[in-house]
Amino acid sequence: MRQAGTYSGILSGGISGKTGPHLLPLARIKKIMKKSGEAVKMISGESPIVFSKACELFIKELTQRSWMVTMQSKRRTLNKEDVASAVMATDLFDFLVNLVSESPLEMDTSKYS
């Protein structure tokens, strides 16, 4: 991630130094937040920043739980079914149940942005 300059850092909401650069793009987070509902009108500048860290925690937790399933099956490749199992086994991830049990994704092997 590029380091924010003195002015551009503030303007783009980026932070450097103590908390380090963000791992996830704030503009994208904001876009997803706005898409979550018609009623979402305005979002404070700090909300995406909180989310950038929250998503990091979320990814780590989901990955960790999925990996435990992988290990139980004595495999080294974490696959989609492992993620699905982790979701099923965790109450916290109830909101994901439909998502992980949908029909298989069409795999587009080209690089994503």
Partner 1 sequence: MERDDGFNRFYKHAKSSSGLNIIHGGSSNSNNNNGIVSTDNGNAANSNAMPPPCTVREQDQYMPIANVIRIMRRILPTHAKISDDAKLTIQECVSEYISFITGEANERCQREQRKTITAEDVLWAMGKLGFDEYVEPLTVFLNRYRETQNERTSLRGEPVLKRGMDYGSSIMMAPPYAPPVFHVGHHQQGFLDGTTAMGGYLRDGSGGAAGGGSSSSQASLTNNNFDPFGQYM
- Tokens for 61, please give them: 């937790």
Q: How far apart are CA 83 and CA 74, in angstroms?
A: 15
Site for partner 1 in 53-82 (CB under 8 A): 53-60, 62-64, 66-67, 70, 76-80, 82
CA–CA distance from 74 to each of 63, 79, 100, 106 (Å)? 16, 13, 22, 27
Nearer to partner 1, 2 or 57 (CB): 57
Contact with partner 1 (CB under 8 A) among 72, 73, 89, 99: 99
Packing angle of the helix pair 80-89, 46-72 (nearest 10 deg): 100
Give whichever of 2 and 106 is closer to partner 1, judged by the CB atom. Answer: 106
Q: Determine, following the binding rule CB under 8 A, whether residue 37 of this chain makes contact with partner 1.
A: yes
Min separation Cβ 89 and partner 1, Å: 14
